[in-house]
């Protein structure tokens, strides 16, 4: 099955918006990808003007690959597409926050749902390094059902039910 098309209308970014962003000397700006349902931070990557324009035009997130020096359509080869649900920038206009719907696999290149699965040390009395409770079971179940509908997997019981 094909992915369900986005219902939102996407277009070229407003020139005033692009002019307000503060890119670094390499023409890049960090972008934090956050799950639109539970607010979990999924990954951090870099964007440039071209990737922002491609993201806003298509509704699917594009980043700039610093290692390959090329536009990177997230999920184009892995199937782990990120649908843009919202875009914000910080008070200094030098960091983007992308609210995304993660489809077809984890956000991390390892296949993990988030790139932030390793915990560092916590100072004594500084709290817990435990992750917050998982997203609501119904929300996660709906995500799996929609993913199986959009990307059927052979032998999947959920696909048989659909």
Whether 97 contacts 32, CB under 8 Å: yes
Average pLDDT over the chain, rounded to whole?
87
Decide which of 97 and 123 is more confident.
97
Q: Which two tokens stand for residue 130?
A: 């435990």
Q: What percent of the chain has pLDDT over 90?
A: 62
Q: What is the pLDDT of residue 137?
A: 67
Residue 106: pLDDT above 50?
Answer: yes
Cβ count near 105 (within 10 Å):
16
Q: What is the DSSP string of 18-79?
A: HHH----TTS-EEEEEEETTT--EEEEEEE-HHHHHHHHHHSB-EEEETTTTEEEETTTTTS
The predicted model scores a pTM of 0.72
User: For 30-84, what is each residue's pLDDT tens digit?
Assistant: 999 999 988 999 999 999 999 999 999 999 999 999 999 999 999 999 999 999 9
Could you tell me the residue ranges of all domains in the chain? Answer: 8-108, 130-162
Q: What is the pLDDT of residue 24?
A: 98
Please identify which residue in the block is written with the tokens 């052979």: 154
Rounded to whole angstroms, what are the CA distances from 123 to 118, 128, 131, 156, 157?
A: 16, 9, 16, 44, 45
> Which CATH number fits the domain 8-108, given the four candidates 3.10.20.810, 1.10.357.10, 3.90.470.20, 3.30.1330.60?
3.10.20.810
Q: What is the pLDDT of residue 141?
A: 79
């Amino acid at each position: 099955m094909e992915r369900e098309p986005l219902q939102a209308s996407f277009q070229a970014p407003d020139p005033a918006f692009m002019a307000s962003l503060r890119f670094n000397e390499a023409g890049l700006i960090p972008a934090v990808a956050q799950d639109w349902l539970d607010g979990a931070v999924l990954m951090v990557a870099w964007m440039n003007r071209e990737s922002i324009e491609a993201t806003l035009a298509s509704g699917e997130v594009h980043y700039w690959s610093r290692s390959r020096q090329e536009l990177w359509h997230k999920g184009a080869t892995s199937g782990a597409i990120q649908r843009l649900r919202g875009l914000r920038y910080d008070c200094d206009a030098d960091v983007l926050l992308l609210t995304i719907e993660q489809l077809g696999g984890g956000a991390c290149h390892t296949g993990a749902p988030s790139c932030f699965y390793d915990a560092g040390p916590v100072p004594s009395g500084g709290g817990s390094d435990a992750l917050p409770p998982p997203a609501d079971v119904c929300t996660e179940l709906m995500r799996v059902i929609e993913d199986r509908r959009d990307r059927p997997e052979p032998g999947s019981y959920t696909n048989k039910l659909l």
